[in-house]
Chain A
Amino acid sequence: MTESRISACGVTKVFDRREARRTKGISTEGIGALRTLIRETWRTAPGRAAVAARDKYHTWALDDVSFEVGPGEVLGIIGRNGAGKSTLLNILARVMHPTAGRVVIRGKVVSMLELGIGFAPDLTVRQNLQIHGRLAGIPARRIDEAEDEILGFAGLSDCREVPLAACPSGSAVQLAFAAVIGLGADVILADEVLAVGDSRFRHACEERVRNAGASGESVLFVSHDMAAIRRICTRVLWIDRGRIVQVGPTDHVVDNYMSELLGGKLLPAATEDVPPCTLLDLRLLDAERSQVGALQLTEPGYIDCLVRITSPDIAVTVEIELWQRRLHVLTSVAPRPITARSPRTFRAGMRIPAHFLNEQQYQARCKLIVTSISDPAAPPVVAGEQRLDFAAMNPRPHESVWKDWPWGRGGLISPRLEWTVASP
């Protein structure tokens, strides 16, 4: 009998938001959060009080999640935006601490969350690889041995002595990924990162992850990209609102998930008050309207939200903002509010034209603004808010903005504008 690589038992994570309130413009959030920290620090029996609390001040990001991953298995983790997928990955990577439960991981873990830690743009590719390996606790001799293979996989064999800053932007991710794979691991925690990099590299990564089974590595793959999940996973775990909905063969679970999601059946539990409207999910779609993890700039894409409306008395306006780190890029509001005579689920999507965004990381923030039809004087209420991080990238490396300009091209957006050049 083979031992499982990861066995998680009753993993629970509760965020205490009890005192995250603001008084009169001054943010007192810090006081409450600090008090919570001190309370948690003092408690010897961990999380007893928190586990008991199921009120609106506690967010149950993970609720009694148990699963096993065997050697050579590629387990996909799917679920809506905010279902608890990244919290789970964070706990397995030991960045976050569970409120309750126990996880045993046998073998060396590498997490894609840590991609590129310790990379210095002014050092050469080879030096960066050395530093990365040393942080991972790998002897210099073994790094030297693996160097050729890693650089070959990353497609950086020619750039060995070139500073990382002078390589195309995807290089850092490609190098980091290749290093993680090449330096040996038993358990790989991967997320959307497989969606970035150029297309040749993405294929190589998927191929590599799919072959992980043969070499006995276990992979945990969190993604919104259902096509990628279908391609590489042997089994899928579907979580919703912190609980496991289904575990099983890939196609079966993904089909169920898709039909439930689009059918709008994912509703708050019956015991809770049914709110007049809910933001079920916020997704990124490609030109064929299938869910992906990164936006291809050469094609249009969609920011898509699923809205469930149960009250006939409300009009719901969908508003989507795009942010780049702390910079507000744009706000777009649906032209007409949505109303429903009977409970229904709507899809509201905002189209992002091709060659519009820049090659950067973005965050979409979606808000539902609810106004009452019977009482037009009542102030509008913000009902649901969700955030979605995604990368925008150019799948054709030879067209990438990073190709000829090693310093990249700055800017919040990068549309193709018309130019005229004339001599006066």
Chain B
Amino acid sequence: MTGSPPVVVIEARPETVSARLRALWQYRGFYGFLFKEIMNRKSRGTLLGFWWLILRPLIPAVGFIVAFTVVHPVDNGTGVPYPIFFLSGFIPWRVFQSAMVILPRTLNWMQGIMKRTYFPRLLVPLAGFGPTFIELAVLVLVFIAVLAPQIWAGTPLPIRLRWETLWLVPALAAALAFALAIGMVMSVVALFFRDVVFTIPYVVQMIMFVTPVLYPVTVIPDAYQWLLYALNPMAQVIEISRWAITGSGAFHPVYAALSLGTILATLILSTAFFLRAEVHLADRL
């Protein structure tokens, strides 16, 4: 034995938040393991296995693009070709949607391990982002594929790369953070009611229709736009991303601050709840 042995103190009083966050780092070895387990779990019992992770974002992306360019062309009023207009909003949306579908299930999936060993439970929802990252990569490839003909021909691209494009990073981070915030709480609730696991995909799908993903936000009368932004933080996230990529989204500093603030507050509250609740979870497994 080298060095002083570790000392573990188990007390009824919950540990401090900083001690918990340190434990996250200490047990980082579990992250990769849980990540892999969740990925396996996702494709278990399917014929296509891993390929589903690629097909799942691909089907709606191609479907919506074909529907609104070939079947029923729509004018999005920004001058940007529809596929680019759509994908620039759909990428952050899909990141949010996919995480929202998977995260609530993760604690249920990992019950067996949680019953047998200690590790910070927060690693479970964090490891649940695995499939989401793959979907993100797939959509980025689709985006490049859509631009490919123009790159090939050397014609000007319908996107505007500039410093403001970096806003894409906070937009994607906000989509992930919001999904994590809701997903953490829902994963705890799902231990008691698995019903939420089946309900959430439909709810998220419906929220998509009140989020300017398929259509520009301008189709909503100006007088009601504030209501959309106030109630749906994802609306402004989508618009930031669209503005960052194409330069034509409805980026409002006030609404952006409001939305990002709401997301941050939700994340802090639900992390606090999760850290408090995690020690009691084993009693119900």
Which A residues lie at the B interface, using CB under 8 A? Answer: 12, 15, 30-31, 33-34, 37-38, 40-42, 46-47, 90-109, 111, 113-114, 117-118, 131, 134-137, 184, 186
Q: List 14 A-B contacts (CB under 8 A).
A: A33-B192, A46-B13, A46-B14, A94-B8, A96-B282, A100-B12, A101-B12, A102-B9, A104-B9, A105-B7, A105-B10, A113-B116, A113-B117, A118-B33
Q: Are A95 and B33 in contact (CB under 8 A)?
A: no
Q: Are A114 and B280 in contact (CB under 8 A)?
A: no
Chain A hits for B282, CB < 8 A: 90, 95-97
Range, interface on chain B = 35 or more
- Asked, given contacts A114-B116, A117-B113, A134-B29, whether A37 binds B10 with beta carbons under 8 Å apart, the answer is no
In the bound assembly, the distance between CA atoms of A184 and B3 in angstroms comes to 14
Chain A min CB distance to B13 (Å): 5
In the bound assembly, the distance between CA atoms of A113 and B116 in angstroms comes to 5
Q: Tell me the chain B residues, 188-240 only, with Cβ under 8 Å from chain A.
A: 188-189, 192-193
Closest to B273 in A: A41
In the bound assembly, the distance between CA atoms of A99 and B13 in angstroms comes to 8
- Asked, given contacts A97-B280, A131-B33, whether A105 binds B8 with beta carbons under 8 Å apart, the answer is yes
Chain B hits for A135, CB < 8 A: 29-30, 33
Which B residues lie at the A interface, using CB under 8 A? Answer: 1, 5-14, 26-27, 29-30, 33, 113-118, 188-189, 192-193, 273, 276-277, 279-284
Chain B min CB distance to A51 (Å): 9
In the bound assembly, the distance between CA atoms of A97 and B279 in angstroms comes to 6
Q: Are A106 and B30 in contact (CB under 8 A)?
A: no
In the bound assembly, the distance between CA atoms of A287 and B13 in angstroms comes to 47
Chain B hits for A137, CB < 8 A: 26-27, 29
Q: Are A97 and B273 in contact (CB under 8 A)?
A: no
Q: Are A103 and B6 in contact (CB under 8 A)?
A: no
Q: Per a CB cutoff under 8 Å, which of B12, B27, B188, B192 touches A99? A: B12
Chain B hits for A94, CB < 8 A: 8, 10, 118
In the bound assembly, the distance between CA atoms of A101 and B29 in angstroms comes to 30
In the bound assembly, the distance between CA atoms of A109 and B30 in angstroms comes to 16
Chain A min CB distance to B127 (Å): 13
Closest to B28 in A: A137
Q: Are A117 and B7 in contact (CB under 8 A)?
A: no
Q: Are B280 and A37 in contact (CB under 8 A)?
A: yes
Chain A min CB distance to B12 (Å): 4
